[in-house]
Amino acid sequence: MHELFSFSRKERNGIVILLLIIFLIILIGRLIPLIVHPDQPDFSKWEVEVKNYLAKNKSEQPVNGELHAVAFDPNKVDSLSLVNMGLPSKLVINWIHYLRKGGIFRDKEGVKRLYGMTSGIFEQLESFIVIPAKPAFPGSEVRNGKNKYRNNTYSDTIPEHILARRAIQERVSFELNSADSLQLVSIPGIGPVLSSRIIRYRDLLGGYYSVSQLKEIYGMREENFMAVSPYFTIDRSGVRTFNINFSTIRELGRHPYIGFRTAGKIFKLRDKTGKFSSADELSTVMTKDSLIRLLPYLKFSQ
């Protein structure tokens, strides 16, 4: 035991020196912050900008949360009117999105259940909301003394969701070659993905000459097409044609009705026989169905 726990003179001196080094390191660590003062970041400019932003945001809010409401029909109101009344932007977006998807407010409680609607906002709006006793669905229109879809009285023979869809179909119609993505997604059955595919395919084709071409779009099932086709009209003046006698192989290959394999055949045939003067000359390199679909896009000028 004496040999295990005893230290020689040299070992004792080493321990003392080690303890002194540890003490000096701790002391230096405590003294450095007192001697060297790190630069403090200047937040004054940032604080001023934050105060200005908060002041501006506060000035734009209605005083004491009050709205500038006026009498309105919640089924026909537009986004500008809602913003002018002082409604929050998120509530306005949800409101307009609900209407574009075919939603209808049949009573004031429907407005109250709108996502983002608070009790305080609804209390200020409630007395200004005007909803007709019988919404003007096409099923309730009287033409020449007769109801368009039923007899003179408004009954429950046809479900309300079908009447709402008919109402949208009659008051909404978009020209397919000029419709933008916002108009497309407002149609029931067309979401953001399908909307982007419709526009992308339109750009590749050079425009639609028939609504039935929507069937060719990936993801457009037959039931989808039957649901959305009544919303579209076609203006064939918007179709972009190309001259097959002067188009490059890349331009031909990018067209959905040709493809790069057929484009190569057309290019070789044109080099061999000269410029084309009619569609019949293409029948040797294209099927009859493909050629018929392609005709509205072709020009044969020399």
Residues 257 and 282 in one domain: yes
CB 228 within 8 A of CB 236: no
- Round to whole Å and give the CA distance between 268 and 261: 11
Q: Domain check: are 201 and 234 in the same one?
A: yes
- High-pLDDT (> 70) share of the chain, %: 79
* Domain match, 249 and 232 both: no
Averaged pLDDT for residues 192-209: 92
Q: Which DSSP symbol is given to 237?
A: G
Q: Are 252 and 228 part of one and the same domain?
A: no
pLDDT for 198 equals 93
Q: Please indicate, yes or no, whether residues 207 and 191 belong to a single structural domain of this protein.
A: yes
Q: How many domains does the chain have?
A: 3
**Is pLDDT at 148 greater than 60 in this prediction?**
no
Residue 280 lies in a domain: yes
Distance CA 117, CA 97 (A): 14
Residue 30 covered by a domain: no
The model's pTM is 0.45
Examine the domain organization and report whether 262 and 227 are in the same domain: no
Answer yes or no: do 232 and 192 share one domain.
yes
270 within domain boundaries? yes
- What does the alpha-carbon distance between residue 298 and residue 260 come to, in Å, rounded to a whole number? 17
Q: Which of 81, 104, 122, 226 is CA-nearest to residue 171?
A: 104
Residue-number span of the structural domain to which 85 is assigned:
66-128
In a domain, 159, yes or no: no
Tell whether 264 is covered by a domain.
yes
Q: What is the mean pLDDT of the chain?
A: 80
Domain boundary pick from 223, 238, 253: 238
Domain CATH number, residue 193: 1.10.150.320
Residue 142 lies in a domain: no
Q: Which pLDDT does position 58 carry in this prediction?
A: 56
Domain membership of residue 11 (yes or no) is no
Last residue of a domain, one of 193, 210, 238: 238
The answer to whether residue 228 is domain-embedded is yes
